[in-house]
Amino acid sequence: MNRLVVFAHFTLFLALMLAVWAVPSGRYVLVVTHPDAAADNIFTVIGRAGGSFVGPGRLSWMAVAYSDESNFPARLMQAGALVVLNHSLAVGCQQGDQK
């Protein structure tokens, strides 16, 4: 068996697993905005999407946000977020949907 084929399949498997793990699920999400934006941009994006600020991420352009709406990740993207991820990716975040 060709080692390159095995390596390619393994890499694809890992990428798919990471993608499934990173997909936003539940009411809490990690919002990532542009790093060069103003410090208050993260609050503007969350507010425009109709969510609530829960806590900061490791960097000023990352934050955990909350909303009961099922389309909240899509609304964050429309409001200017670069990426919306599962909140468990936020280092030190202890908030979460307990149901």
Read off the CATH number of the domain in which 33 is found: 3.30.70
- β-strand partners of 66: 28, 52
Band of pLDDT at residue 66, cut at 50, 70 and 90 = very high
Residues in CB range of 80: below 8 A, 6 or more apart = 33, 41, 44, 45, 48
Question: What's the pLDDT score for residue 94?
Answer: 44
The whole domain housing 73 covers 23-99
Number of domains in the chain: 1
* Residue 40 maps to a domain: yes
How far is Cα 86 from Cα 95, in angstroms, rounded to an integer?
12
* Residue 11 maps to a domain: no
Can you tell me the mean pLDDT for 19-43? Answer: 83
Q: How far is CA 98 from CA 20, 63, 95, in A?
A: 19, 19, 9
How far is Cα 55 from Cα 63, in angstroms, rounded to an integer?
6
* Residue 10 maps to a domain: no
* Residue 7 maps to a domain: no
* Residue 39 maps to a domain: yes
